[in-house]
Structure 1
């Protein structure tokens, strides 16, 4: 039984697909450059429409570029495997977005249906849009992508490359959190100061834990093929990531604070302006 069957209308796809949004994700990504170019196009088109699905892409495209730069500068022991890793991972996002946009609900994993649907129905804060995408892509897609690209041969070497991504992302994560805070309150340099215990649970630093769990699940699915273990591992992925998405939508914030933040977003700042602030902050970090 699908985890969100009880309230599907809350996470329904658009009534009709937008051809300009379908075009960049139609057909598999072949290279890292192809993936980043097409996802960047999709992010720009979503941003132009004020579509909050752009928020995760703003972060994800930059992350992908950072890891690709690491490949090109010799950061990884197995660059060919890392390129396959990035492309395979990006294709999981591509397929989920394409299925959602074209109304193929059965093909949309529940964590992505929650993320896309909530963002489209304007019931989220920008910080929630970011967390919803990170949750679905890391806590659901990554284990499956790792299984697809293969952990063997030289599993230990591949694991070290997997861990090296965490090092590349660490500085970018700090910049992202500061940028998300600045979206809401100029001069607030720490999301903790704004979101309190909500951020302690949902901080983007949880990507490291999610990536570690993804590797463990991929190992189980690779090494244990006897039923019911593969099916159980899939159920754990789906249930954990969907539960995480629903938790992101139920933050333990003071209702008055939450209402005030929503009013601020709706009245004072467009999605495009918010994403430009995030872009500027991340670019400053690169400099």
Structure 2
């Protein structure tokens, strides 16, 4: 059923703020030519066939990108850890419906794989707009590492997640499936906290020189609103699942794309002062080694998961 209450649910303040960010803006500036690479292509050409296959190939893609100093690795450093931890919890029987969670994990990873593959191939028309912004900003290298990570998280949660849930189905036992869906929040929160901790240590000297605190960069975290975004992804999936009507599916997919793209623009325009952003970019240029950062992240993640 699709009625006025569904419209109010979909067009709330959270989404309207993000929709406004997309007015008179296109993603063309984030389309970057990518040199073909057989190694990367071999890892994303074929669909994932299991959660272990998704984990292993995502980890190998992260390694490849790190070796190539490709900043698209920054998101994958978080995502591979989240994927691995989710698999560990599935295997340990921590979820109510383990079989559903396995489908959830594989289908979710498939949305990332297809977006990455199509961007690599230059098939931009097949890449969702929020992923065009995330990939393009990372390849251009003019965003902070924190922004690179959050742009990927934004695209994956605010666009891919509702579609994933719709694809795998919410029924039967919808309430149990929501409990399993919500359990992921804790994993993601702990990993984002690790990332903030590492980057605050990197940025701290520069922030002290300009008299700012890392807390000002938390505007990005607020803009991302992970818990809220995952809850709203479920709400959209409910609307799509209950309506089972092509016009609703098309309109909600458009809405997901626009609001996720608006979220990306918010992440790229934090309220942090230009002087602070300039200092942080210089710190990253001089001190951020992607390989070392990734290793530190994975090591520290082991202590919180």
TM-score (norm 2): 0.85
Q: Aligned to 2:48, which of 14, 25, 29?
A: 29
C-alpha distance in 2, partners of 1:175/1:111? 24
Instruction: Please name the residue that 1:280 is paired with.
Output: 299
Structure 1: gaps (5+ residues)? none
Deviation at 1:81, TM superposition (A): 0.6
C-alpha distance in 2, partners of 1:60/1:144? 18
Deviation at 1:9, TM superposition (A): 4.7
Q: Aligned to 1:117, which of 133, 136, 152?
A: 136
C-alpha distance in 1, partners of 2:182/2:34? 41
TM-score (norm 1): 0.90
Contact kept, 8 Å, 2:50 with 2:106, in 1: the verdict is: yes
Q: Aligned to 1:264, which of 283, 297, 302?
A: 283
Secondary structure of the residue aligned to 1:196 is helix
Taking a change above 3 Å as real, the CA distance of residues 169 and 250 of structure 1, as seen in their structure-2 partners, is closer
Instruction: Please name the residue that 2:237 is paired with.
Output: 218
Secondary structure of the residue aligned to 1:185 is helix
Secondary structure of the residue aligned to 1:35 is helix
Range 48-57 or range 157-166, more displaced: 157-166
Instruction: Please name the residue that 1:180 is paired with.
Output: 199
Q: Aligned to 1:242, which of 247, 257, 261?
A: 261
C-alpha distance in 2, partners of 1:142/1:78? 18
Deviation at 1:283, TM superposition (A): 2.8
Q: Aligned to 1:132, which of 151, 174, 182?
A: 151
1:225-284 CA deviation, whole Å, 9 max, x = no partner? 346432221122011100001111111111111111111111222222332332232233
Deviation at 1:63, TM superposition (A): 0.5
1:35-89 CA deviation, whole Å, 9 max, x = no partner? 0100000000100111100000000010111111111111111101100000000
Deviation at 1:208, TM superposition (A): 1.4
Taking a change above 3 Å as real, the CA distance of residues 154 and 51 of structure 1, as seen in their structure-2 partners, is same
Contact kept, 8 Å, 1:10 with 1:118, in 2: the verdict is: no
Deviation at 1:156, TM superposition (A): 1.4
Flag the structure with more relative contact order, 1 or 2, with Cα contacts below 8 A and sequence separation at least 6. 2
Secondary structure of the residue aligned to 1:30 is coil
Structure 2: gaps (5+ residues)? 1-21
Deviation at 1:26, TM superposition (A): 1.1
Contact kept, 8 Å, 1:43 with 1:58, in 2: the verdict is: yes
